[in-house]
Amino acid sequence: MKFFSLPVLLLVAIPVSLSFLPNNIGREISAAPGMRVNRVMLFRAYPYEVRPGGSVTLEGSGFSRSLNKVYFDGSNPITATSTNGTTMAVVVPNSLPEGQYQLTVSNTLGSSENPDIKIPIKVTSAPQPGPTIKNASLSGETVTLLGEGFTVQNTVMTTLGNSSATLYSDGTTLSFRLSELSQYDQVKKQLQGNQYLFTLWIFVQNEHGTNKNPYKLDIVL
């Protein structure tokens, strides 16, 4: 009967109960859904242009809750913590000279460094905001975007692929044809003449960065 004393019951019951909690709660390092759990990865830094001493948000997976080191071109390490394992705010060192830097994150899982994937930021005393899309419409095969921060050389990235050439804008209006997108022909061919509802997500990228959240445009293909 001693086996079932209250303290013993508590010792057994609480760990059993806690094992039902979602995987990420209480863990030192959390991975984003669908990502490899034993690896730190860095996907993007936002905004792209930042002044020395300014704040940048990093998005990735496998960030530590207690200690990460963020490197600028492999040096000038600063420490940072993440509350959810997938985002992390860092302050750019005041001493960093102006220029473009590749960011990497390291912690107990290793380093996010990948020769094929560069995550850059631009340190400048006069940062410009990246593009923002406020409205999008489709007329025939032409998509027209209204927004801010477009420049004379923009690239469009969408669910139907990227634009094959750079796109000119007067600063607030940007147009492109669906047929200019790299995967449009492939998708169109598989529809076999039928019409389907489709959600086109749109990013615009230029020398000042990329819009943080994609614009959603529901269309019929």
Partner 1 sequence: MKMKITALTLLFSFAVFFLPARPAHAQGLPFGGLATFSIPCTCSATLAVWFTPLYLGGPIVITGPIVYSPYSTIPYAYYMTGVPGVWHLGSYLPGVQACWMYAVAGCFPFPTIGLMTKVGTSRLF
Residue of 27, 79, 153, 196 interacting with partner 1 (CB under 8 A) = 196
Toward partner 1, which CB reaches closer, 34 or 95? 34
**21 part of the interface to partner 1, by CB under 8 A:** yes
Per DSSP, what are the bridge partners of residue 110?
Answer: 107
Question: Got the DSSP string for 45-96?
Answer: EESSEE-TT-EEEEEEE--BSS-EEEEETTEEEEEE--SSSSEEEEE--TTP
Residue of 87, 124, 159, 175 interacting with partner 1 (CB under 8 A) = 159
CB of 184 to partner 1, least distance (A): 12
**72 part of the interface to partner 1, by CB under 8 A:** no
141 torsion bin: left (phi>0), alpha (psi -120 to 50), beta (else): alpha
**184 part of the interface to partner 1, by CB under 8 A:** no
**115 part of the interface to partner 1, by CB under 8 A:** no
Residue of 7, 33, 97, 140 interacting with partner 1 (CB under 8 A) = 33
Residue of 7, 34, 97, 115 interacting with partner 1 (CB under 8 A) = 34
Kindly list the distances between the CA atom of residue 140 and the CA atoms of 7, 25, 29, 76, 189, in Å, as whole numbers in the listed order.
Answer: 72, 49, 48, 51, 18
**11 part of the interface to partner 1, by CB under 8 A:** no
Residue of 89, 152, 165, 191 interacting with partner 1 (CB under 8 A) = 191
Residue of 7, 20, 95, 193 interacting with partner 1 (CB under 8 A) = 20
**110 part of the interface to partner 1, by CB under 8 A:** no
CB of 197 to partner 1, least distance (A): 5
Size of the site for partner 1 (CB under 8 A): 54
Toward partner 1, which CB reaches closer, 4 or 139? 4
Which of 129, 54, 113 lies closest to 89 in space, CA to CA? 54
Catalog residues that contact partner 1 under the rule CB under 8 A: 1, 4, 6, 9-10, 12-14, 16-18, 20-22, 31-37, 41, 43-45, 48, 61, 116-120, 155, 157, 159, 162, 183, 186-187, 190-191, 194, 196-199, 201, 203, 205, 209-210, 214, 216, 221
